């Protein structure tokens, strides 16, 4: 049965800046410490971690919403693409991130849950702290 991962986090930056960290290839790569290529167009492709994960942009609302198909290169051929949604909104002191990553293969969901925190959001928080 496919799994869903959900995270709700706060960051001390404006929603547009968080959106840009994810959608700008150079900033995305700096955040994760690995190669990333991200199109800013609906229908455009993205990849991260030297092509380990990849997909297409389905919906983009600058500063507010990112919806993508998403899969990892080690998934079984029979696994369908997952659906990634990141909603960003204003919050006191910065912004709120609501991430929903759905239709994940059972065996991959625990690692993906941990991976979003370890490889994306914790490094970004450290980068932001280093700026102040």
Superfamily of domain 3-131: START domain (3.30.530.20)
What number of residues does the chain have?
132
Distances 106 to 2, 31, 84 between C-alpha atoms, Å: 6, 27, 16
Write out pLDDT tens, residues 50-103. 999 999 999 999 999 999 999 999 999 999 999 999 999 999 999 999 999 999
Torsion angles phi and psi, residue 74, rounded to 5: -95, 5
pTM score above 0.75: yes
CA atoms 79, 38, 121, 15: torsion sign: negative
Write out pLDDT tens, residues 4-35. 999 999 999 999 999 999 999 999 999 999 99
- Residue whose C-alpha is closest to residue 62's, from 6, 102, 19: 19
- Within 10 angstroms of residue 18's Cβ, the number of other Cβ atoms is 21
Distances 121 to 42, 74, 76, 77 between C-alpha atoms, Å: 24, 23, 27, 29
């Amino acid at each position: 049965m496919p799994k869903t991962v959900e995270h709700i986090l706060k960051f001390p930056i404006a929603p547009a800046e968080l959106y840009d960290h994810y959608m700008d290839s150079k900033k995305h790569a700096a955040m994760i410490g690995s190669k990333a290529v991200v199109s800013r167009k609906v229908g455009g492709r993205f990849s991260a971690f030297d092509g380990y994960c990849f997909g297409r942009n389905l919906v983009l609302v600058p500063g507010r919403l990112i919806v993508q198909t998403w899969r990892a290169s080690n998934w079984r051929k029979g696994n369908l693409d997952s659906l990634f949604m990141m909603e960003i909104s204003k919050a006191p002191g910065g912004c709120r991130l609501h991430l929903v990553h759905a239709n994940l293969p059972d065996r991959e969901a625990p690692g993906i849950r941990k991976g979003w925190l370890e490889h994306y959001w914790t490094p970004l928080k450290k980068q932001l702290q280093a700026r102040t």
